[in-house]
Structures are given as C-alpha cells and as structure tokens.
Amino acid sequence: MLFLQLVLFVVLLPGGDSEDGETSALQESTFFQIILTSSFYNRSWTQNQGSAWLDELQTHGWDSKTGAFTYLQPWSKGNFSKETLVELERIFYTYSIRLLQIFHNHVRQWQLEYPFQVQIAGGCDFHFGEVSVRFAQIAYQGSDLINFQNTSWLASPKGGSRAQQFCTLFNQYHVFNEILYKILSDTCPQFLLGLLDAGKAYLQQQGQSWSLPPRILYSALINLWKAVSI
C-alpha cells in the first residue's frame, strides 16, 4: 500500500522524473557506505568528517572528537546491539586516527602538499535480494588512488607512482586489511540487512501518517521498500 503511494507520488510528482526515471530508480541497487573525508591543513591541524549513507540518504554522522556515531534516522541502529555499535565506534575511531597519522608521516615521501584532502570510502551493495559487492577506496584530492580487492590494495591506473607507493605501504598492514575485509564482507551486509528491516518496520509503523520526503529520498525509500518486500 505504502509502496503504491510512493510510486504514485513519484509518477505524479510535478516536474519530477518521467516513467523512465521511476523505472531506473526501481532497478537500482541499494548500497550502504561510510565516507571519511580528511582535510589536512598543516602538520598539526586536520579536520575530519565522517558519515554513512543508504543510497542518497544519510543515516549516520560522526563526532570526530569523541568518535561517537550519531544516528540520524529513527532506524539508523538497524538490529545491532549497543555493544556491537560501541565496538564498531572504537574500531572506526582507532583506525581513522592511524590512517591520518600515516598521511602526516608520509607527506615528504609521497610529495603531498598542505593543504590536501583525502577521502576514504567503503561499503557494500544489496542487489535483487543479495548482498553482492563490497568496496573500499582511498582518493587523494578527489581522484582515486587505491582500491581494496579481497584482502589487498590495488593501485588505480590513473594514480601514477604515488598510487603505487600507497599501495605498497597499505599492503603491509596485514592485520588492518584482514579486519577491513571482515567488516566489509560480514559486518557490512549484516548491518545493511538489519537497517533495511528496521527501516521497513519504521515505514509500517508510520502507516497513513507518513509524510512524503523531499525528492532526493525517493530512490532510497523505494529501494528500501522493494528490498525488504522480497
């Protein structure tokens, strides 16, 4: 019923997408990703911004001072226990600090020039009832440097010798890479499925009183509804 309302609303939306737009929204997969953006201003000053997204809908923020997640949707905790979430906060915080330190320590070797920006993204993808893709990548000044495949890093062809150097270094962090692999392969899909379940329960609770969100949320909502209706 609610799904129908959403579809009807998308179709009837003034100035919105045509039927083609609706179809492509329905065929898209739903992905969950975490993005950490670090701006390095100088040796002693870095600003970090962390967030998590279900498609285009932001589900989590991150307090870079305390390392605490902020839950932006009523269903953002999915079905994970408080203990598990605290553990994930700890892992995320610890590794983000170490990663930033790595960049500070290699400024000269990698010929990085302050100010610069590093973006780290990772997540998993839910497509037609299956969790299919997991990914992690690190970008420097907006261009892709290295990508995570299985348990090791590959240099992006466009990244040049700097990407090769990053790759060599990151491939030495075996423990980190194993943990990352486990988080992307096990934790991420479990969390994504739990998030979709919690989102569905929330939508059902809202029933008729659900107020329609802005345009940008439609594809996430429709995918969410479709994913959990399978």
Ligand X SMILES: *[C@@H]1O[C@H](CO)[C@@H](O)[C@H](O)[C@H]1NC(C)=O
**Is there a contact between 163 and 171 (Cβ–Cβ < 8 Å)?**
no
From the number of C-beta atoms within 10 Å of its C-beta (0-12, 13-18, 19+), residue 57 rates as buried
Backbone angles phi, psi at 204, to 5 degrees: -65, -40
Beta bridge partners of 133: 125
Nearer to ligand X, 154 or 217 (CB): 154
In the complex, minimum distance from the CB of residue 41 to ligand X, in angstroms, rounded to a whole number: 5
Q: Which two tokens stand for residue 25?
A: 């929204």
> Residues in the site for ligand X, rule: CB under 6 A?
41-45, 79-80, 149-150, 190, 193-194, 197
Nearer to ligand X, 7 or 104 (CB): 104
Nearer to ligand X, 138 or 228 (CB): 228
Nearer to ligand X, 42 or 141 (CB): 42
In the complex, minimum distance from the CB of residue 74 to ligand X, in angstroms, rounded to a whole number: 17
> ∠ CA(29), CA(5), CA(219), 5° rounding?
25
39: nearest Cα among 88, 98, 95, 104: 104
Nearer to ligand X, 82 or 158 (CB): 82
Beta bridge partners of 47: 39
In the complex, minimum distance from the CB of residue 215 to ligand X, in angstroms, rounded to a whole number: 29
Distances (CA, A) of 46 to 42, 62, 89, 106: 7, 15, 20, 15
Backbone angles phi, psi at 229, to 5 degrees: -85, -10
Nearer to ligand X, 25 or 188 (CB): 188
In the complex, minimum distance from the CB of residue 84 to ligand X, in angstroms, rounded to a whole number: 7
In the complex, minimum distance from the CB of residue 79 to ligand X, in angstroms, rounded to a whole number: 4
CB atoms within 10 A of CB 212: 13
In the complex, minimum distance from the CB of residue 20 to ligand X, in angstroms, rounded to a whole number: 32
Q: Which two tokens stand for residue 2?
A: 């609610």
Cis peptide before 115 (omega within 30 of 0): yes
Nearer to ligand X, 9 or 127 (CB): 127
In the complex, minimum distance from the CB of residue 193 to ligand X, in angstroms, rounded to a whole number: 3
